[in-house]
């Protein structure tokens, strides 16, 4: 317990090391951020990762619609019309699937205690 704390405190981390494996952003980038506090960036990153995990639990179609509609994966958000054209379904059907998927996401988020971020 105390030994574990002491052992952990001896580990050093380079500020130039990537935040996550395979990512370009480093800890120093967080410190230099002009968009907000380091704490906000870390919370945003953690939340984004958690939401991505939950979205990946949806059906393939639901996940695609959510990712496209909300601009996940670094792309600009798409309209109902744009998503409908891509999937060759009506914009109303996109809205229905999106609504169902969002309800599932809220339920899963509540179970994982992410609800504070989704309201």
pLDDT tens-place string over residues 96-115: 999 999 999 888 877 776 55
Judged by phi (left if over 0) then psi (alpha if -120 to 50, else beta), residue 22 lies in left
Say if 24 falls within a structural domain. Answer: yes
pLDDT number for residue 1:
59
Say if 62 falls within a structural domain. Answer: yes
pLDDT number for residue 21:
72
CATH of the domain at 55: 1.10.10.10
pLDDT number for residue 12:
57
Is pLDDT larger for residue 61 or for residue 28? 61
Contact residues for 54 (Cβ-Cβ < 8 A; gap 6+): 105, 108, 109, 112, 114
| C-alpha 100: how far from chain center | 19
CA 87 to CA 94: how far, in whole Å? 9
Q: Are 38 and 46 in contact (CB under 8 A)?
A: no
Q: How confident is the model at residue 77 (pLDDT cuts 50, 70, 90)?
A: very high
Say what the pTM is.
Answer: 0.59
Q: Which two tokens stand for residue 40?
A: 């906000």
Domain range holding 69? 12-117
pLDDT number for residue 107:
87
CA 84 to CA 61: how far, in whole Å? 11
Domain count across the chain: 1
Question: Three-state DSSP class for 26?
Answer: strand
Say if 3 falls within a structural domain. Answer: no
């Amino acid at each position: 317990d105390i030994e574990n704390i002491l052992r952990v405190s001896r580990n050093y981390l380079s500020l130039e090391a990537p935040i996550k494996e395979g990512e370009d952003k480093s800890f120093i980038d967080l410190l230099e951020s002009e968009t907000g506090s380091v704490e906000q960036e870390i919370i945003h990153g953690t939340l984004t990762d958690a939401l991505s995990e939950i979205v990946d639990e949806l059906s393939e179609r639901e996940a695609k619609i959510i990712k496209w509609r909300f601009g996940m994966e670094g792309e600009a958000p798409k309209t109902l019309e744009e998503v409908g054209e891509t999937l060759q379904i009506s914009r109303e059907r996109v809205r229905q699937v999106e609504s169902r998927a969002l309800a599932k996401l809220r339920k899963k988020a509540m179970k994982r205690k992410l609800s504070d971020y989704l309201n």
